[in-house]
């Protein structure tokens, strides 16, 4: 199947890269399926996009927020209408099963409507002045041009989280989508075009991290960088932004734990563990990659989980009945295979462990759902793998489980399965994570609550919910003195 050939979107126009070069994007489930050909852009293209965004910012920031909201409402309606079409393209582009790509588009829809609703809020604060005949308030101002670097695992949801919040605040955008998944962001641009978003407010430049991402981070007229990806890259971005005194928002890695207590509903816990570990082929920053299981139920849980994992159907995500798609690329599958070999030397392989390379899998980057039992300090227990691999770690108590859960560099998501409300509240208090679930897996965040983590997962900011607006707005405190005379705060008391 031959795909489309797409251009960059800069200043309201579809334009080729200054390099004259392109790259292909192929279906990770079927290498014969070319999804499209995209621009291999350069710093010159980034410069053009930033200039377009800077020019558009002058008028966009002065557009009343309720009017900005109308464009987002329109985009949400268009996404609803095109949901199935975009979901199918996304499954071809990055591999996850169709029911999940529909969910990815639904997140973009939800975020469009949520952010649009903020167009009539964007609340500031008023406060009493210490001086008579003086009014005090604080309001939100936009920041300017936002540079986005987005990942391949949620190729429209995460760009929408960032974009909708930034746009409602009055900012303009230059986005570099992941090299593996440019098509979904191109479709988001087309949605904004149909919604009538003014030229230059949303710009897309495709290409590699070194050729597009680095120039975007270094650009002196980009006021904020929002990045979702690996911790190593995120930290490097943070260092560069700090040199420029540039605002930056980082969403990075995770090594998330489900704590399964001896009083847990094991049927429910097994279903949650399978969904959390193998949904999106384990390629989620919130994936349930550690299962901390009370020894009293260890044998029974392992038996049930292994049996359930063996029943998962791996294949092309567009086909009916498929539970898990491929890894996004050959290099990602090789990373998974490398960790599987490490895990064989560290612990006990309970199931899986093989690349799937024959028959219907021959043209894709498939890997078996894989489960280890290992120590808490094993590499497969501590390092982010980003693939269909999870590790069971035996624990003897709630306290030990919480200690193990917190004993990694990351702090994104956590969960507990228990029937004891006291254990549940203790765990939700003591897990060092930005997200927490009770009797559910570590995945399943909703757009109206803040999303993000602590420690090496993030830098203190959050996406989604009203907290997402904080990343893309500045506070301005305003004092209006109507006394008719000079009053001196802290002095005239």
Buried-exposed string 174-194: b where 16+ CB fall within 10 A, e elsewhere? bbbbbbbbbbbbbbbbbbbbe
By CB neighbour count within 10 A (0-12 exposed, 13-18 middle, 19+ buried), where does 446 fall? Answer: exposed
Q: Say whether 124 sits in a helix, a strand or coil.
A: coil
User: Could you tell me which of 225, 200, 187 has the C-alpha nearest to residue 75?
Assistant: 187
Q: Are the CB atoms for 85 and 311 separated by under 8 Å?
A: no
285 annotated active-site: yes
- What are the backbone dihedrals phi and psi of residue 464, each rounded to the nearest 5 degrees, phi first? 65, 175
169 annotated active-site: no
Tokens of 384: 């982010």
Going by the DSSP 8-state scheme, the letter that residue 460 receives in this structure is: S
Dihedral of the CA atoms 378, 383, 387, 393 (nearest 10)?
40
User: Could you tell me which of 144, 77, 139 has the C-alpha nearest to residue 112?
Assistant: 77
Count CB neighbours of 246 within 10 A: 20
**Helices of type H across 196-297:** 214-218, 231-243, 266-278
- What are the backbone dihedrals phi and psi of residue 94, each rounded to the nearest 5 degrees, phi first? -125, -5
User: Could you tell me which of 61, 300, 79 has the C-alpha nearest to residue 193?
Assistant: 79
CB under 8 Å to 432, separation ≥6 — which residues? Answer: 405, 406, 411, 454, 455
How big is the chain by its Cα radius of gyration, in Å? 24
Tokens of 85: 């079409």
Q: Are the CB atoms for 1 and 16 separated by under 8 Å?
A: no
User: Could you tell me which of 48, 49, 28, 26 has the C-alpha nearest to residue 37?
Assistant: 26
Catalytic residue among 118, 251, 302, 384: 251
User: Could you tell me which of 400, 336, 408, 317 has the C-alpha nearest to residue 99?
Assistant: 317
Say how far apart CA 131 and CA 190 lie, in whole Å. Answer: 52
**Residue carrying the six token digits 């044998």:** 299
Catalytic residue among 285, 368, 382, 384: 285
Say how far apart CA 100 and CA 117 lie, in whole Å. Answer: 26
Strand pairing report for 413-417 and 257-260: parallel
Buried-exposed string 307-328: b where 16+ CB fall within 10 A, e elsewhere? ebbeeeebbbbbeeebbbbbbb
Catalytic residues: 251, 285
């Amino acid at each position: 199947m031959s795909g489309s050939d797409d251009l960059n979107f800069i200043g309201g126009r579809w334009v080729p890269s200054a390099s004259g070069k392109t790259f292909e994007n192929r279906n990770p489930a079927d290498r014969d399926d070319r999804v499209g050909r995209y621009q291999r852009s350069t710093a010159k293209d980034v410069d053009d996009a930033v200039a377009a965004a800077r020019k558009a910012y002058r008028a966009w920031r002065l557009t009343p927020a309720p009017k900005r909201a109308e464009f987002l409402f329109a985009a949400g309606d268009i996404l609803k209408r095109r949901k199935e079409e975009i979901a199918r393209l996304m499954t071809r582009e990055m591999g996850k099963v169709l029911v999940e790509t529909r969910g990815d588009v639904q997140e973009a829809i939800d975020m469009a409507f949520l952010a649009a609703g903020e167009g009539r809020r964007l609340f500031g604060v008023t406060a009493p002045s210490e001086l008579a005949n003086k009014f005090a308030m604080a309001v939100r101002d936009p920041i300017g041009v936002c540079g986005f670097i987005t990942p391949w695992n949620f190729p429209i949801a995460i760009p929408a989280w960032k974009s909708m919040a930034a746009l409602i605040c009055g900012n303009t955008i230059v986005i570099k989508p992941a090299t593996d998944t440019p098509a979904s962001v191109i479709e988001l641009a087309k949605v904004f075009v149909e919604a009538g978003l003014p030229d230059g407010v949303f710009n897309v430049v495709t290409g590699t991290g070194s050729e597009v991402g680095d120039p975007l981070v270094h650009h002196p007229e980009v006021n904020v960088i929002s990045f979702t990806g690996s911790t190593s890259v995120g930290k490097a971005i943070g260092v560069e932004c700090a040199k420029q005194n540039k605002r930056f928002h980082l969403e990075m890695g995770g090594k998330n734990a489900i704590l399964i207590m001896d009083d847990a509903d094991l049927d429910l816990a097994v279903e949650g563990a399978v969904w959390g570990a193998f949904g999106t082929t384990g390629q989620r920053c919130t994936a349930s990659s550690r299962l901390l299981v009370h020894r009293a139920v260890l044998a029974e849980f392992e038996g049930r989980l292994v049996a359930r994992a063996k029943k998962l159907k791996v294949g092309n995500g567009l086909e009916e009945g498929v539970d898990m798609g491929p890894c996004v690329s050959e290099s990602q599958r090789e990373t998974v295979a490398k960790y599987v070999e490490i895990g064989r030397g560290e612990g006990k392989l309970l199931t899986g462990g093989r690349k799937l390379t024959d028959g219907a899998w021959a043209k894709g980057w498939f890997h078996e759902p894989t489960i280890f039992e290992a120590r808490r300090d094993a590499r497969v227990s501590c390092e982010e793998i980003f693939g269909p691999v999870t590790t069971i770690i035996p624990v003897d108590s709630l306290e030990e489980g919480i200690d193990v859960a917190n004993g990694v560099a990351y702090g994104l998501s956590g969960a507990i399965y228990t029937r004891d409300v006291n254990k549940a509240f203790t765990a939700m208090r003591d897990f060092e994570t930005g997200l927490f679930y009770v009797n559910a897996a570590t995945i399943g965040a909703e757009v109206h609550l803040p999303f993000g983590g602590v420690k090496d997962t993030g830098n203190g900011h959050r996406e989604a919910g009203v907290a997402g607006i904080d990343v893309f707005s500045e506070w301005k405190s305003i004092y209006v003195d109507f006394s008719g005379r000079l009053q001196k705060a802290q002095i005239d008391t």
